Amino acid sequence: MSDNPSATLTASTTFEPVRASDIQLAQARISSVIEPTPLQYCPRLSEETGVEVYLKREDLQDVRSYKIRGAYYAIANLSDEQRAAGIVAASAGNHAQGVAYACRTMGIPGRIYVPVQTPKQKRDRIVVHGGDMVELVVTGNNFDEAAEAARADSAERGATMIEPFDARDTVIGQGTVAAEILTQLTSIGKSLDTVFVPVGGGGLLAGVASYLADMAPRTAIVGVEPAGAASLQAALHADGPVTLEAVDAFVDGAAVKRIGELPYRIVERNLGRIHVMDVSEGAVCTEMLDLYQNEGIIAEPAGALSVTGLKEMNLQPDSVVVCIISGGNNDVLRYAEIMERSLVHRGLKHYFLVNFPQEPGQLRHFLNDILGPDDDITLFEYLKRNNRETGAALVGLELGRASDFDPLVERMNASRIDCRHLMPGTPEYEYLVNT
């Protein structure tokens, strides 16, 4: 490693593969600070999928995320000169907590940049973990903008940038998750058939793939991205990392516009054993709620990506599968939105623009003759406040069953009342529902 204090710890121009021996060395170095997380058998998911499902509980780390592994290992490798110059980091929230923890533990001053969409819960935890050794800067509309500001600061002050995923030491540190998984399965006489890995910038996937390539080459790896930020798939289609025009920031821990260069190279060299997929944000919300209600696991959106991917794959019956629950930093204030997105995903929540004819009794007709016995009105708002019983209204309905939707639409079409279904993802839906 360079002794230049202004060095940025990123992927080098010359590709150097990450080996299992590198990861084992990192595991030995961080083991005095970072204890192994549980690998828990999940009866519910095993019964639902027909495979033997284990959950790797990285949400139980001190900082509630696997990110502490790569952050701590990268910072532990800094020279005395680099430590004295201080460090800079950018993060959607979880990497920042790992950096903050390491700064306070090692007595290194740090400045951490997070985007404005980072949940308050994550911001507060960064401050707690970093104490007086860390300064928190909130800037940019997404991770990439925050990272740009952090790199500019690093260059100006001569501080070392600790990258969240696109750096060799970071990837090596994240790979210790895979090392623990194999050790834990071996201790109970099991071997790993498939592992589901959440994907944002690609650091965890790269670390897991690197370790398994040497130690369990027959293991299948499934990388799961959010549909609104599928930067790895975009890179694979373009034969190299590309920058997405926009991302859905809901899965904040994986809302990255551009996959890391080093993770991409590692994934590219392991495509024979890696399958990459994306899942909708609504499906992620459904799995978050199921994990909470059934297993008592408070997973953040990125933390539920692996389980969401599991539900959408057909696997060999009775095979041994591990899903990495990558983080549990979820703000309780987000649960209303999580429930809403889940209901929409499951076909239970719908919005309509209802234009009532200019005659009395139409609202009563809508309630009595169009709505089904199990349909609940969750929102009713006239678009013009001086219209009552006539004019257009925004109506939100929660159905008892998804199968009730087609009969509801048939009754609407047979009525003189004009009802227009608002489709998620359209400008009209986003404007009327989210404003």
275/235 same-domain check? yes
189/305 same-domain check? yes
Domain of residue 280, residue span: 19-67+170-339
Residue among 56, 67, 257, 349 flagged as catalytic = 67
157/174 same-domain check? no
- The answer to whether position 278 is within a domain reads yes
> pLDDT of 228-268, one tens digit each?
999 999 999 999 999 999 999 899 999 999 999 999 999 99
- The answer to whether position 4 is within a domain reads no
What DSSP assignment string belongs to 299-320?
A: --TGGGHHHHHHHT----TT-E
Of the residues 165, 192, 212, which one is the last residue of a structural domain?
Answer: 165
310/254 same-domain check? yes
326 is catalytic: yes
> pLDDT of 136-190, one tens digit each?
999 998 888 999 999 999 999 999 999 999 999 999 999 999 999 999 999 999 9
275/321 same-domain check? yes
67 is catalytic: yes
Predicted model pTM: 0.90
47/97 same-domain check? no
- Side-chain-facing half-sphere of 283: CA atoms under 13 Å: 16
208/60 same-domain check? yes
321/365 same-domain check? no
- Answer whether 63's CB lies under 8 Å from 129's CB: yes
> pLDDT of 400-434, one tens digit each?
999 999 999 999 999 989 999 999 888 888 777 77
Domain count of the chain?
A: 3
Q: How far is CA 121 from CA 63, 98, 248, 281, in A?
A: 12, 15, 19, 20
Residue among 154, 326, 342, 349 flagged as catalytic = 326
288/356 same-domain check? no
Residue 302: per-residue pLDDT: 97
Q: How far is CA 24 from CA 139, 192, 343, in A?
A: 36, 18, 44
Residue partners of 20: CB distance under 8 A and separation at least 6:
179, 210, 211, 213, 214, 215
72/179 same-domain check? no
32/94 same-domain check? no
- The answer to whether position 13 is within a domain reads no
Of the residues 165, 181, 204, which one is the last residue of a structural domain?
Answer: 165
User: For residue 325, what is the domain's CATH number?
Assistant: 3.40.50.1100
What DSSP assignment string belongs to 241-252?
A: ----S---TTSG
Of the residues 276, 304, 339, which one is the last residue of a structural domain?
Answer: 339
